[in-house]
Chain A
């Protein structure tokens, strides 16, 4: 039963993720992204990481995708006409394709991991206290670095979007 659910959610996630990339309508793509996130949350639940599942829903499905839709609606992007291929995008596509191919090949060549003992690995995202403890001890540096990065991104958005009258040198 659990295995079946996991497989179902995995397929669901992949199909909707393909929908994000292939949809020409931007709103459809954003809704597919929402479903992808729900699928990933389902995968987390299947792995007993309830906390991660609900945080994913709360932060990404509840707020980030809503902001995506907000921006799409604000800019009124139709997304129906595609710009013609440019040299740069061709090169980028080739690189992306090569990366995907490399990933698939390496997955088939050396996908054999040593069999993990399931009892020894605690589900980190399952229990609130353990998760918080790990965040503030083992993973303190990454958390701080990412927080700093987000702060810089936020400042960048403010500087780029706000009109500073009489303070032209800030830009």
Chain B
């Protein structure tokens, strides 16, 4: 089986790998929309979506009603609704950019997946080999560069809609995303100062960050969230702002802007914005997991290699690979739950509060954090 796969031409294998990853990311992003509705319902003490039920599942005795209560089938119902709704195109919009904007929203979200490693396996020598679509040396820089292009979808959607509320949403989005990019980039610099210790080749690779969180010893095995809690906090807050999540969803702000940048959108074009937001969250949570939560290591001070040895599967690369992907996805989904938890707990900020937090609180804090860690790392690593 494995031999057959590796005998296939390279381009075919790359195509299969790319499709496999997108086939995981896209449904998870879509499924998050259902989870959002269900989680919000639980937090607000109501049952949430619990009606949709295909006929053939209704015949299954116990499992059918249970899945119905869980609202699993609303995922399909929502998707079908978005697909079959009339895709209206208002007369006053700039048609080219209006149609382009949702496409531009999806592109960076799906492109950044290529540079995020999502698992690892052990080779015959016991070395941990990271799994990922593209093994690029500048890992995180590529993620930041491509995901920063996502702002154009909001700007273009707001501008092309040619009406007041979307326009305000687009202007807010562009200012907010640029403001928080600074704090976000500065907050991860201490991590890379730490992992680019003297004698190592310089790298921005995310896999190396995980490698440094699976070293032996107390400081080696600790996740970076324990070593650099301030950096992790700044990164997480900026991540909320960059993905336009509550309490930072100024671009949408349905209380004051109707629907913000996507007021004029409906049907599948709106659905694309929605899925792109969750895909961004997924990638952002993935990067946070790799940088601060130990990536595919199951617990702090317990590495993947030790865990695999404990389960007696270290000799089976396929099992270890699936195990590591499972651990990684588990952490990412827990983080996405955290995103939802915050959304349904904290009220939305005012716009001036968002700007004040970004420029007057997070940015100075990030710079102070960087200087403190630069001095500390210089002393420790000599």
Q: Which residues of A contact B (CB under 8 A)?
A: 27, 34, 50-51, 54-55, 57-58, 61-63, 66-67, 69-70, 73-74, 127-130, 132
Contact = CB atoms under 8 A, between A and B. Distances in A.
Interface in B139-169: 141-142, 144-146, 148-149, 151-152, 155, 158-159, 167
A63 B178 contact: yes
Contacts of B177: 66
17 contacts: A50-B136, A50-B138, A57-B146, A57-B149, A62-B144, A62-B145, A62-B148, A63-B178, A63-B181, A70-B175, A73-B158, A73-B159, A73-B167, A73-B170, A73-B171, A127-B201, A127-B202
Given A27-B97, A34-B152, A69-B155, A58 B202 contact: no
A115 to B, nearest CB: 30
Contact of A54 (B145, B155, B175): B145
Instruction: Give 4 closest A-B pairs by Cβ, nearest first.
Output: A62-B148, A129-B202, A58-B145, A57-B145
A62 B151 contact: yes
B101 to A, nearest CB: 11
A27 B159 contact: yes
B174 interface: yes
Given A70-B174, A73-B159, A50 B137 contact: yes
B203 interface: yes
Contacts of B203: 128
Given A55-B145, A58-B148, A74-B171, 15 more contacts: A58-B141, A63-B148, A66-B151, A66-B155, A67-B174, A69-B155, A70-B155, A70-B178, A73-B171, A127-B137, A127-B202, A128-B137, A128-B138, A128-B204, A129-B201
Interface residues of B, number: 29
A61 B158 CA distance: 19
A93 B178 CA distance: 35
Contacts of B152: 34, 66, 69
Interface of B: 97, 136-138, 141-142, 144-146, 148-149, 151-152, 155, 158-159, 167, 170-171, 174-175, 177-178, 181, 196, 201-204
Given A74-B171, A127-B202, A129-B202, A62 B149 contact: yes
A67 B171 CA distance: 10
Contacts of A67: 174, 178
Contacts of B155: 66, 69-70, 73
Report which residue of B174, B177, B181, B196 has the largest number of chain A beta carbons within 10 angstroms of its beta carbon.
Answer: B174
Contacts of A55: 141, 145
A122 to B, nearest CB: 14
Report which residue of A66, A67, A73, A130 has the largest number of chain B beta carbons within 10 angstroms of its beta carbon.
Answer: A66
A62 B171 contact: no
Contacts of A50: 136-138
Nearest to B205: A128
Contacts of B178: 63, 66-67, 70
B149 A51 contact: no
Given A69-B174, A70-B171, A129-B202, A51 B148 contact: no
